[in-house]
Amino acid sequence: MIEKFNIHISDDEIKKLHQKITLTRWPDEINDEYWSYGTGMSFLKDLSYEWLNSFDWRAHEDEINKIGSYKFKSNSGLKIHFLHSKSDKEGAVPLIMTHGWPGSIQEFLKIIPIIHRKSKIPIDIICPSMPGFGFSDKPTEKGMNSEKIAKIQHELMCALNYDKYIVQGGDWGATVSKWMAELYPNNCIGIHLNLVIAFPPDNQDPMQGVTENELKLLENFNKYKTQGYGYYEIQRTKPQTIGYSLNDSPVGLAAWIAEKYYGWFDEKTNKLVVTNDEVLSIISLYWFTESAPSSARLYKENGEFGFSFNKVSQPMAGAIFKKDIMIPPKIWAEKIYNVVQWNEYDGGHFAAMEKPEVLAEDIVNFISKLIK
């Protein structure tokens, strides 16, 4: 069953958020200008002031509703919130785009109209909120991992009468997209990723065929593991423990999420990779839906990878952004994917928000290769 879903957070809930922000008990701090100990307090105080005094949730709420906001009841019993932006032309190609953490459907608000504008081929765009994220229902039992999410999203596509579709994703959305391609080869006709997960082959020299540039990009993963991986281990092992704090303190939630949008891999940059307003919109969504604990559980459910290393046959495109957290050499990816497009760009992990024009162009070019 699919139904229209109009988002409207009550004035009372917004007022309560403001009250909670004003009651923040600030800690002491030992830090530096590059946040080596975590989110900088001066930044966080400024962000909290903006959240309290000038941020307009209603504008973001309206933007989501205008794109097309719906809910789908899956066979699991969970209701899944999704955006559905349809082309005004007949015979549109369905493209399902899956977010990650700490992202949300809001990752795609900028890129949706750009894809429509750039593509000569009509495209219908579907952006689900994964279970436990945003306005989707929260799983009440263990085991809701990327594979099960892929099955629910395929179910959604069938309910929308899309027999053939293209998948797209980054972060956890890349794992869900890979599972959809693997589980439904007769339905998924292509896979586009802006985070490509691939590891060295076991039965040969892993550096054979790897270029000098790719060796440099491999260092991103080492930096991520040593400088930005703490949250992953916490959410993979004890998500409930951190969940109490994230669900009760809006400023604590803001610190936890905003840090992920900080420029990890450019040591000369001391700012977020997207605007404060965009980050506050995502933090607000997590706050109002109380989805920080439930979304963090995806790390526990997925374990180390949430990923299958089985090879898929559908054409695959990798949009490689040079400051992403994981950038495998193309030759490693070819062990898993049928790579037909592989392009490298400036930018980082949140490509749909950081570089929407670039990512949209890459997606459109890929679709044009598939649909002739």
Annotated catalytic residues are 171, 299, 349
Distances (CA, A) of 257 to 241, 283, 331: 16, 7, 33
Per DSSP, the three-state class of 84 is: strand
Decide: residue 134, CB within 10 A, 0-12 exposed, 13-18 middle, 19+ buried. buried
d(CA 279, CA 294): 19
d(CA 84, CA 332): 34
Interacting residues of 31 by C-beta distance below 8 A, sequence separation 6+: 37, 38, 40, 41
Interacting residues of 198 by C-beta distance below 8 A, sequence separation 6+: 328, 332, 333, 335, 336, 337
Q: Which two tokens stand for residue 138?
A: 């929260």
Q: Which two tokens stand for residue 369?
A: 């290769």
CB 263 within 8 A of CB 272: yes
